[in-house]
Each structure stands twice: as C-alpha cells, then as structure tokens.
Structure 1
C-alpha cells in the first residue's frame, strides 16, 4: 500500500494543499517517510494528512488494486494527532425586537368637592360680579354661582356648584321631575368662564327628581361659547345642555354623564327655536395641550346628538374618551325610524375627532365602550360628504372595544360617513365593531412618516362597501402590500405563506409582500360579495420565510371562508414603515377546496381618496 502525505492549515475545512510525496508500507502496514517535510519542518498552524492506495486486490474487500481511500480525517504534527476544530453552528435568524403598544390606563378617580348651592332656575341679570353670597334675598342662580366659584382664593377650593331647587320653582317639570334653567338674556347668554381650577358643576346633587337622566337642564342660545372651562381639575357632570356645548381649555378636567342636544325626556333632538336646519351646538371640545403641560382630560358617559359639527373634538394629549353615546338617545336607541337614517332630513351630527397624542378611545370593559351610531347631517344631495364617525389625527392612541354603527341592543344601523379615518401613527386599533355600509370602514390617509406602526387587531368590519382603503398620500409599498396568503385548509389545520406581490395600477413595479416573523390574524367571513371580518379566530406568527400555521376552533361550515390581515414585527418589512404596521384585509376569500391562486384571485380595487 502506498501512502501520500499532504500538509494543511488548521481550520474546519478538509483540504489537501500540497503533496509531499509517497511511501510504500510494509506487509504489516507500517511505513516511514524521510526527507519529505519542507526545510525547517512544519510551520505554525500546518499539519499532515494521509491518503492510501491499495497495491493488491481485495485489500479493500470487493475492490481491485489501485483503489484510493478518502483523505484522513485526523491531522498530525510533531505532537501527534491534532484535535479537529469544531464546525461553527450556522447563524440562526434573530428574534424580532419587541415594540411598544398603547395599553389601557386607569381612569382617574373623581375628586370630592365642596358646595355653592343653586336654589333658583331664574336668570334675572348678566352681572359679572353678583355672587350667591351678595345676591338680594339669597337667590342663588347658576350664573351667580359661577361668578362666586371662579373668584374663590386657592385655600377655599375645590368648590362644588350644587343644586337644591324646590318643586315650586317655575322651571320644574312635574311630569319628568326635572328643572330647566333658561339663560334668558338674549344679549349675552354666556356664563363667566370657570377660572382658577377645581370648580365642579354637578346636576346630580339636586335632591329628589328622577333617576333616569339629568335632573338639571340649562338652555341657552348664542353664537358665543356659553360654558368655558379654564384651569385644571374642574368637573362638569349630570347636566342636560340645550343650545350650547362645553369648551375645555386646559388639562386634568372631567366632563361626564351629561346630555347635549336632547329634549328633557331624552327621546328627541333639541333644536334651537325648533329649527332642524340650524346647528344645535351640541358639542364637547378641548384645546391643544401646550408644551410642558399635561392634558389628561376625562370625557365619560356623555350623550351627544344633533350638531352639524363634530360631537367631541379632543385636541388635548393623554386624555380619555370612554362610555359616550354619540348620535343616539341615552338608552342607545335612535330618535327616528331606521328608514330615515342617512336620509335627506336626518340630523344625528358628527362623530368624534381626536388630535394631540396618547388619548384612549374606549376601553376593555363594556362600560368604557363608546357607541357612535347613525352619525350624519341632512342634505338633499346624495354626494354630500357625510361626517366621520371617528377621526384620528395625532398618534399613540388606543382605540379599543368601540361600536361604530352598532347600537347598544346589537342592531347594526351603520353610520352615514366613514367609520374611522386614520391619519395617526403608533396606534393600536383593537376589538372594535365598524358598520359603515355607505363608505369605507377604515380610510388610511397619512404619508410616509404618519401612518407608521398602526396595528389592527380583532376588529369586526361589517357591511362596508370598502373595508380598508388607502389615500393618495400612502406610498405604494404600503397601499399594495398584500396580507398573508392561505395555501391549505385541511379540517381545522390552516397553513399559509407571505402574500403574493402587490400589483399597483399604471404599470408600477410589483410590491414585495414577503413578511418574515409577521403576525397573521385569521378572520371568518361568509360567502357574500362583501369583504368583511365577521369574527376574529385568532393569530399566528410567521417564521423567517413568512410561512405560518393556524388551528381553527372548528371546521368551516358550507359557505364560510377565511380572510387575513398581517402585522409586521420588524422595521422595514413594509419599506420605511415601523414594526407594528398592519396591512389591509385579504381580498381573497379562502374556502376549503377552492383556494384562489395569485393568477385568478380577484382583488377589490384600491380606492385612493
């Protein structure tokens, strides 16, 4: 047998770099090679390997003479056998970093105030200095109580304007058991602003009366803002306001359990002088939070209906909009029949507009859910742009568990305009019901920076003509990024991949929709022509290649199918967009035995508004 010695360097690859010669082994297989090493011997890091060739047939059973072996696995130097370096493991794909999402925050507890007591529904003058303490005969009106409260020094605050009107008061309604304060001066209905902070006006302090709604109603009509709240830690609660709204200019305030724009019985919309074509001014608004100041206003359990403007316009930061009913009666029903809704005479008003950053709209409990139903304005022109149910303009929002277009009783009435118009970023839109038959359920309008990292999770979109659409300022790389694709449904086992490349109109380049590590949400839909998400069945996490699996809670019934939404977990999965950015709903309805392919899949048109 003839052996060949070859030198190599230490690393994990088997190599024969140079042949140093051959030697013939003895009959016992031993051998010695001389004068084959380089001058000076092996250098640092060098070693020897061998390879043998047989000289007789059968030395390797079944093989003839001249058969050569493999290269020796062992390496040798003057010290003997060298331990073979371990092959380094292949690099594993990295786990995506966690990214922050808004979470529900505890609503602050209402502070306990002290009292200035209104005992008359009259409004005899518009004096800006007469207080309840200085009024003739001890007559304490709402106007005088406000003048007195705003003038209190800090050591006498907080102050509560409470009510104790007798049933003999001219403003008392014995049938409804309510009291009506009419701001009678036509020249100036405006009350003095609530200045200095820590002032409460609470209609529920009125003894007796009904328990099914506000006992105290205040009626005014003026182009001026009648009730303006300045300062912090003010509370407006338990009032029925007719002909005007509430303006809040600073932070840390509570506006809760008020009716705006309703008759005293809560069954019909209140119109100024009975004119349904005039704005009834039933609105709640606040101001932008200045730098280095806090917002954190609470708007809770209010009923607002009938204004041609937006019912709630919240510009402050880190506020709460929870438990409100917009466009409905206090019991959640609508003040007209279903046939009149969104008609030429229907006035429910606008919905909710949120600016600033960090505001929470809705919450995890039923009590924190906002109902925004039937919002619309009268117009004989069918092309009139109807008001938005919910407009989001800033960012860092939590929009959770709201019913848009669904009543308290669970009836899907819808809204007359868009469900949600989203021009925000870094927000979580979760577990909402959106019924918007005439318009898009969600309209994405921002550009590259705004609109990033908006996550959709568990939202039910029902009966919308366009479920999720993208405005003209949205880049094609997002607008046409396809959600996950389902490739197999076998009983309850579902598997899929990243979506097919999106195809923008006009011959633009296809949009790569590869989605590694993305979260895939699977929805149930029926077989009608509308793209809906009738039930969220859960989520799956894709692997590095975008492949994923999911187990259904049950097998699909006849006519049922699945749709998907994908949410990225890495920056740049959708070009220039942050982790947490969700796609549109899959246009394809995936059903067992009839999975659409990318060649014959029918896509809804992307509506660019």
Structure 2
C-alpha cells in the first residue's frame, strides 16, 4: 500500500465454523502450506515492506460489522502453524506491530527500527500447556525465536512467551531495544512441569523432561532487558554433558542494562532453576546488571565444576571493561559472581571489602586483603578508596550467596567504611554478611575504569569475625530421588517350543533377488503377483504372509533350506547355520510385516544349531530393514546383522535372537568391518515417541 494509506491494520474476522480446535476453544489456526509458496513475509514482496503495519490477533470478532465470535482474551486467539519448509516471518520497514498471535515453527525477524511485538506465543502448543515440537522430536529446532538486524534500533519485545528454541529465544543485534516482561522457557502461565531430579537438566534424558530452550542474547548497545522471567532452559542432545544456554548473555557491546529479571523462579514463586548460567557478560563495558534474582543457576549444582553460576564475566583486558553488578539476589548457584580464565588476575582475585566489626545494626569495615592468585603470580592489591560497598545477608552453608540485599555505603579515601543501621535486626544464628565492592576510581582494579564490580566476598562475616561454613547435610549437592513405582510384573505366557500356523510358508533359499519385492512364494491372494514355484526366499515369504486373510492366520514362516544352498555356513565356517545376505544393489529393506499373527521362526530350520540362531540375516542399508506392524507376531531364532528390529504393535514376542554379533556369536558384528560405524543392534517398540503413538503395550523381549 502506498505511504499515504498507512498505517495499515490487519485485523481478523474468522468464521465461527473454523474455530474447531478442542484443545484451545475460541481460537483459530492458520496452517501455512508446504513449500516456498507458503512463505510469510519474506523480504522480497512481503506484505510488511514499507512499515507502519499492525497485525493484531486480538481484533478477532471485534470489528463493528462482525457476526463472528471474539477470540480468547487470556491467550493469542490466532495461531499460525508453519511447515518444515517455511520457518521465517520477516517484517521489513519501521514502526510495525505484531500482537495476539501464537507462532508455531515460525521465527520472527525484524529488519527495521521501532517495531513492537507483544503478547505473542512462540513454541507452545495450542493451549499453551506444553512445548510445540516438530514431529514430536525435541532435537528439532521449533523455531521459537525473535531477532533483529545489526542495523536495527528501538525495537520492543514485550510480554511474549518463548519456549523450546534451540537458537536464542530473543536475539538483539541492534541498539536501543527494550526486552521487557517476557516468559522464556515456560508454559504460557510462567511455570514448567515437575521433572524428576534424576532427569532434570540432563539433555540426553529425552522423555519426561522439560526442554525450555535458549535464553536472551544481546549483541548491540544501549539495550534494556528488564522484568523477564526465565526458567528451565535446556536443549535436547545425545551428549549428556552438552552445555545448556545462559539465561541472559551480553555479547561484548556497551551500555546495556539488565535489571529486575527473575531467573530460576516461576510465576508461582517456585524455585525451579535454569539449567545453564544466569547472566553472562562476554566482554564490553559500562553495562549495568542490577536488582536481578538468580536461583539455581545452573540447576544441576556441582561443587566440583568451576566457571559456572549466577553471574559470569569473560574477556581479556582489551575485550572486558568496567561493568557494574549491583543489588542482585543470588541463591543456590554454582558460584555467585565468577570469572573465566580469560579475565586477568588483577580482576579475578581482587578481594571486595572486608567486615571488621558488627555493632548492633551497624557494620564497619575496610578494603579487602590482597588477593592470592596461584603461584608464581604476585598478590593482587585490593585497596579500594571511595568504593561503593554493598552488603548482603547469607546463611552459613558452603555456597557463596547473596540472599538479601541489606544496603550500601561509600568508603573514604583510605578504604574505610561504615554502614549505619544497615541491618534490620541483629544477626541470627546461621546468618552472616558478604560484600561486593564497586570501584570509585580508575585503576583501583588495575586496567579497569571506575564502576567495576568485584566478586562476592569469599569470606562470610559474623559478629565474631569470619564464619566457618556449616557443611550441608547431606553433602552438597544431593537431591533425594523421587520414589519410583514398582508395579507387579504381569504373568507372561511361554511360547510353544513348536509353533503352528493355519497357513505355513516355507523358506527354502538364502537367495535375495532384488526384483522379488512384490513376488510371493506359491500363492497370490491379492492377485497381480508373480508366482515363483520352487524357490521361496524370505523376502517372498513376507510378501505372501502380508496377503493372507485374517481367517487364515496365524501365518508361520518356517525354514527348510538345504545344506547345498550357497548360504550354508557348515562347510566354510563349521556352523550349522544359513546366512541370508540381503541384496543392497538398490534397497534391501524388506516389506513391512503387516496384519498381525505372523510368526517368523528360525528354530524351525532342520538340523540347525541349537546354541544360537540357525538363520542369519545380514543387511547394511540405513533404513529400518525389518519392521513388525500390528499385534501377536513372533520373531524367534534369527541373528540380525547391521540393522535393528522395530516393533509397532502390541503383545508381540521377540525371543532367542541375536543382534549385532558375528556369525559365531563370539565378537561384535561391524558393518563392512568398520568398528567406528553404528552396527544398529537394537530393538525398539515404536518408530514414533510414546506421546505420539498411544497404546503400545504387552510386548515381550526375552532371551535375546
């Protein structure tokens, strides 16, 4: 639209008949088509080019002439679900607004200035009670993220919920932005589900865990991050020691303010933690980190792990300047304020003010003692004239915490100070005082300008001097495991030694002609199939078994392969076993075993070995070669090499099989003799996670 017809409002008046989402009544979902044609708001020819456009989901049904229902008011009434081929909503120009939309698998990218996005959801399911996952896989990025360009300025991100992102939840590359009042890593109500402590913060605990995603990343200058709630940040990963994301990262620029953020505490006040560090300053100067609360950062507190905790600083003298850290509450963190090895000794080991006397409600002190870096480095002068001294209340456990901000005072030119009536009551048993110092002069901390804040004091001060910490009981950190229910095992019937079937198909060859995918052995129940007399391969037997009507099941696929067969191993290896090597010239995936009540029993092979499976099947294709669908199937007496066994059904028996062993069972089997390659020796009972396919039950995996 031309400039003289802006600003433009994109409102919604979707018909009542399309509000058919039982999970989220009075909401409407727009599903973008697969393919490039569904791209929304690309930078070329986008609806938002030119700026001054508002898209507002809360307008649903509110237009004067509307006959349709209004949308929900406690959540975005309009949902936009994208596809795996369309993952970006790019908003060009300036002064645009987006509100009242729930985005699923769709990043939002601002290229201009002074844009506003507020009261939106990103990465949540329809009713906001869980994470939206692509194909229900937590390792696939759900694109729950907001970001801008480096040249952007003045964008506002306010009162949004962003959860599950594997990239950053909010990335501010530009300047003068406001990130305010957002819930990061949570459900819509600002909470997360209870997770077993044995699984919480373990990225490889794929199920029954909470993967809140990533935090806020500030790359630009003069930005403000305030009043956000951030909990439960974690990525799903096969690596158990994959590092969770920081809640807030300042990435090397200047004059940013981080204040009044709640990290590790949910909207109900529960201390649930976040799995990564709290606030991390990766270089930059004149940043202000003030009045934040950081609890259980990282969530899995390990006293042996260093350089992790509530507030961290990193960067050499050229990268890291004077940054002020003030009035922050820190509880149950790895370390309170910590420094990575890149920070010079003069800063890392600078000791804050020490307490010399506590007189009723008044606390007095002086500069800290010289810091002691590892030998042979010299001591660090910690004299601090005209420093701002902040005092915090802590308990006497071994953690360095700042549980209550008591107040501040300014030291004189000699570093001496007095905080009059800073205590509201005399120190109680189990309480002490910690301090920080913020320099009032340049080079008080060598190389750093005024306004540089030290670590929290290692020493905890009481009325009688330094307090020796009281060891935690149990030792730090132990969380009691939740009791696991112990259900009584159900009685499992024993398979008959000799299986019988209403229909019997006999495999009499180890050959695997690749053209036999649609051929049966002897019969053609479905018609249109080539009947091969005399030669019945396993591939053909499975094709025939699939076509057997229900009233002629169970189907027994038995084996009677002669010793003259080229796959017989008695002559070459001295094994009473027969090896079927699946043809891999095209695709060696067998047809799925479908319909139920199909028995594939290698123990039926006459004169086969009894100390191992008589029938060996080798296949090296990356696909699932043998998939068993439906119920009441039996897989017995097979040695599978190079591929897994997948069971999609109930009450199936998998017994007396080998997976991943050599022909004689004495060594592991490796595909093409490559020991670095996964040999796929596994049994799994569903191709999809259990929250997708319900009702898988009663399968028996015995003596494999």
Q: Are 1:558 and 2:425 counterparts?
A: no
| Alignment TM-score, normalising by the size of structure 1 | 0.69
**What's 1:428 paired with?**
288
**Separation (CA, whole Å) in 1 of partners of 2:383 and 2:106:** 53
**What's 1:160 paired with?**
9
Q: CA deviation at 1:170?
A: 6.6
Deviations 1:324-343 (A, max 9, x none): 00001121111453645313
User: Matched residue of 2:357: which SS?
Assistant: strand
- Seen in structure 2, the aligned counterparts of structure 1 residues 183 and 498 have a Cα distance that, compared at 3 Å, is same
**Separation (CA, whole Å) in 1 of partners of 2:348 and 2:379:** 12
**Separation (CA, whole Å) in 2 of partners of 1:238 and 1:421:** 31
**Separation (CA, whole Å) in 2 of partners of 1:536 and 1:175:** 43
**Does the CA-based 8 Å contact 2:356-2:465 persist in structure 1?**
no
My pick for the range that moved more, 443-452 or 515-524, is 443-452
| Alignment TM-score, normalising by the size of structure 2 | 0.60
Please list every run of 5 or more consecutive structure 2 residues that lacks an aligned counterpart in the other structure: 62-69, 302-307, 469-704
User: Matched residue of 2:135: which SS?
Assistant: helix
**Does the CA-based 8 Å contact 2:386-2:415 persist in structure 1?**
yes
Equivalent residues in 2 for 1:305-454 (5 A)? 305-337=163-195, 339=197, 340-343=199-202, 344-345=205-206, 346-362=210-226, 369-393=227-251, 394-423=253-282, 424-435=284-295, 436-437=297-298, 438=301, 439-454=308-323
Pick from 273, 277, 288 the counterpart of residue 139 of structure 2.
277
**Does the CA-based 8 Å contact 2:160-2:181 persist in structure 1?**
yes
**Separation (CA, whole Å) in 2 of partners of 1:463 and 1:573:** 30
**What's 2:439 paired with?**
568
Q: CA deviation at 1:171?
A: 5.7
**Separation (CA, whole Å) in 2 of partners of 1:212 and 1:338:** 30
Q: CA deviation at 1:450?
A: 3.5
Deviations 1:177-199 (A, max 9, x none): 10000002334431133211111
Count of residue correspondences: 436
**Separation (CA, whole Å) in 1 of partners of 2:148 and 2:189:** 26
**Separation (CA, whole Å) in 1 of partners of 2:375 and 2:23:** 69
**Separation (CA, whole Å) in 1 of partners of 2:23 and 2:309:** 46
**What's 2:412 paired with?**
543
User: Matched residue of 1:395: which SS?
Assistant: coil
**What's 1:365 paired with?**
none
**Separation (CA, whole Å) in 2 of partners of 1:188 and 1:578:** 55
User: Matched residue of 1:421: which SS?
Assistant: strand
**Separation (CA, whole Å) in 2 of partners of 1:335 and 1:156:** 47
**What's 2:458 paired with?**
587
**Separation (CA, whole Å) in 1 of partners of 2:292 and 2:23:** 41
Equivalent residues in 2 for 1:100-249 (5 A)? 152-169=1-18, 173=22, 176-192=25-41, 193=46, 194-207=48-61, 208-249=70-111
My pick for the range that moved more, 334-343 or 546-555, is 334-343
**Separation (CA, whole Å) in 1 of partners of 2:106 and 2:137:** 14
**Separation (CA, whole Å) in 1 of partners of 2:397 and 2:332:** 10
**Does the CA-based 8 Å contact 1:524-1:533 persist in structure 2?**
yes
**Does the CA-based 8 Å contact 1:171-1:181 persist in structure 2?**
no
**What's 2:327 paired with?**
458
Deviations 1:2-56 (A, max 9, x none): xxxxxxxxxxxxxxxxxxxxxxxxxxxxxxxxxxxxxxxxxxxxxxxxxxxxxxx
Deviations 1:119-144 (A, max 9, x none): xxxxxxxxxxxxxxxxxxxxxxxxxx
Deviations 1:43-74 (A, max 9, x none): xxxxxxxxxxxxxxxxxxxxxxxxxxxxxxxx
**Does the CA-based 8 Å contact 1:225-1:247 persist in structure 2?**
no
**What's 2:123 paired with?**
261
**Does the CA-based 8 Å contact 1:488-1:595 persist in structure 2?**
no
Q: CA deviation at 1:540?
A: 0.9
**Separation (CA, whole Å) in 1 of partners of 2:51 and 2:24:** 36
**Separation (CA, whole Å) in 1 of partners of 2:142 and 2:196:** 22
**Separation (CA, whole Å) in 2 of partners of 1:502 and 1:337:** 41
- Seen in structure 2, the aligned counterparts of structure 1 residues 481 and 223 have a Cα distance that, compared at 3 Å, is farther
**What's 1:481 paired with?**
350
Equivalent residues in 2 for 1:484-503 (5 A)? 484-503=353-372
**Does the CA-based 8 Å contact 1:495-1:548 persist in structure 2?**
yes
Q: CA deviation at 1:501?
A: 0.6
Deviations 1:143-162 (A, max 9, x none): xxxxxxxxx11101111111
Select the structure with the greater relative contact order (CA < 8 A; seq sep ≥ 6). Answer: 1
**Separation (CA, whole Å) in 2 of partners of 1:335 and 1:593:** 44
**Separation (CA, whole Å) in 2 of partners of 1:447 and 1:381:** 30
**Separation (CA, whole Å) in 2 of partners of 1:528 and 1:381:** 32
User: Matched residue of 1:466: which SS?
Assistant: coil
Question: Which entry has the higher C-alpha Rg, 1 or 2?
Answer: 1
- Seen in structure 2, the aligned counterparts of structure 1 residues 460 and 232 have a Cα distance that, compared at 3 Å, is same
User: Matched residue of 2:38: which SS?
Assistant: coil
Q: CA deviation at 1:570?
A: 1.2
**Separation (CA, whole Å) in 1 of partners of 2:86 and 2:345:** 46
User: Matched residue of 1:204: which SS?
Assistant: helix
